[in-house]
Chains A and B, each alone.
Chain A
Amino acid sequence: MTWDLGQALQMVSRTHSGMVRTHNEDAVFAQPGVGLAILADGMGGYNAGEVASGMATAVIGAELAQGLQEAKHGVSQLLESVIGRANSAIYQAAESQPQYSGMGTTLVMAVFRDNHISVAHIGDSRMYRLRDGAFECVTRDHSLLQEQIDSGMITEEDARRSQNKNLVTRALGVDPEVEPEIHTYEVVPGDVYLFCSDGLNDMVENDDIALTLQALSANLDLAAEQLVQMANDNGGRDNVSVILVRVLQAFPATERGLLARLLAWLK
């Protein structure tokens, strides 16, 4: 069967270079129809960061849209292989062209399928979830700071004052191989998912992000604008990107599910 999640998912995205940087090295890709959201925060000199994040979203977006139609494998295997191919593409470009040497990108992305969300991430770009008013960070950064927090060296309170921000321990395209972290969770209608680059969560307090989603989830465009605006009002020291996904209704995989959906709609 062909997939169209356009009825079940609403997605909006915003990306902004911020108030300090001249380049925007973030890239976003959102397709509600195929249930796909991808956000990448590139790094590397000159325009290499943009190239890396742009390659990541383009390669993963195109290959996944294709792979999901064929549906030969489970979503997480598919994610793993597609991310692996994007990694090779970026790595080879960086190896073969001196101006791209050392470029790489973070990645946070999700595939919505059969009432589930499969989230993959590499580095310090994040995904948050708002469910029944409860706001939480679903991904755990691959960063020095997070490792220090995990090992008990530093408290989350201390982490805000650390000089070692922005050091990621994993990135896409910097090594021949990469290990994405992939998890699958159940989705509940009404959920709101936020994907963001660190330009948001470094500049805006979690409470303010949560408040924005709680207050404005009825108007996703406005919520996305507000998040970017708050990051910029607070100094906008980095590029800031957000993708917001609102789950409007269930999206089960089977025909029976379709019927159930129809019945639910008739009620």
Chain B
Amino acid sequence: MAKLILSMDGLVLKELPLAKERTTIGRKPHNDIQIDNLAISGEHAVIVTILNDSFLEDMNSTNGTYVNGQPIKKHFLQNNDVVELGKYRLKYINETPTVAQSPDFEKTMVLRPDMMRKAPTDAPPAPAPARSQTDTQTGFRPGQSMPAGSSLGGSGLPPPPPPLAPPPPAASANQVGAIQILNGANAGRELELTKTLTTLGKPGLQVAVITRRPQGYFITHVEGANMPIVNGRQLDAQAHPLEDHDVIEIAGVKMEFFIKR
């Protein structure tokens, strides 16, 4: 269960488990956490806890509620967050088992209606949330000889670095590859392969894709009657791992693949 550690001037005063769905904080005695100090409003803040998540909300207090030094109105508490009210500090501790330790933790479960009724419904509607970016981690994992897929494009940001669980990524995961065009009108042009997929060629004629994976770069045929040629040899339908200085030929255009850094 999540808990708060109340301290002032570096001195720990007490530990407060977040056992209730609504934990109120304020100067007045009816609060779950009473802090009898004039800098604290009568009803200062509230913490709503739903299963493993806790949300802190400032109740329009006079002196405000701060989390990690920033004033907040509403905040989704994360492990080790420090909540400041006047001179008092509340450290939020929520040590749930990490995914790495128990894969079953992520198993989907049904939340029954009787559980739902306990959830508070008084939360005011918030401004339209930012566009969804589904959670991702980049990991490792060798093996798997599935064909890689991919798209041509200009530059792009490199994939986000891997936080969380899995073992350290293979060395190649940090490498950035690039291709340089060797002939034709665009000769000399260079393209960094920072995206997970980059397609090359002409749609409808011949397209291949270079995929960026934890274990390196792979090239795969996408469409067209002709397969890509690497170092003079025509590929089959399988993904083909790319080595530094491989020469690729697609739709008559030759290009060199190389590891940039």
List the interface of chain A (C-beta within 8 A of B). Answer: 19-21, 41, 43, 104, 106, 123-124, 137, 143-144, 147-149, 151-171, 174, 198, 201-209, 211-212, 214-216, 218-219, 222-223, 225-230, 232-238
- Contact check, B139 vs A233: say whether CB atoms are below 8 A apart: yes
- Contact check, B151 vs A215: say whether CB atoms are below 8 A apart: yes
* 30 sample A-B contacts, Cβ–Cβ < 8 Å, listed by A number: A20-B103, A123-B108, A144-B116, A144-B119, A148-B50, A151-B121, A152-B126, A156-B131, A157-B130, A162-B76, A164-B52, A165-B106, A168-B108, A170-B110, A201-B134, A202-B135, A215-B197, A216-B150, A218-B223, A219-B149, A222-B149, A222-B209, A223-B149, A225-B147, A229-B211, A233-B144, A235-B139, A235-B164, A237-B99, A237-B106
Q: Answer yes or no: B11 CB below 8 A from chain A CBs.
A: no
Given contacts A153-B123, A216-B209, list 9 more A-B pairs with CB under 8 A.
A155-B130, A157-B129, A206-B134, A211-B195, A211-B197, A212-B151, A216-B149, A218-B222, A229-B148
Nearest 5 pairs of A and B residues by beta carbon? A215-B151, A226-B149, A152-B126, A163-B52, A235-B139
Shortest Cβ distance from residue B75 to the other chain A in the assembled complex, whole angstroms:
9
C-alpha spacing A148/B50, complex, angstroms: 10
Q: Choose among B51, B99, B125, B144 the residue that contacts A232 (Cβ–Cβ < 8 A).
A: B144
Q: Answer yes or no: B260 CB below 8 A from chain A CBs.
A: no
Q: How large is the interface on B (under 10, 10 to 19, 20 to 34, 35 or more residues)?
A: 35 or more
Q: Which of B18-52 contact A (CB under 8 A)?
A: 48, 50-52
C-alpha spacing A226/B137, complex, angstroms: 16
| Least CB separation from B164: chain A residue | A235
- Contact check, B146 vs A219: say whether CB atoms are below 8 A apart: no
Contacts of B103 in A (CB 8 A): 20-21, 237
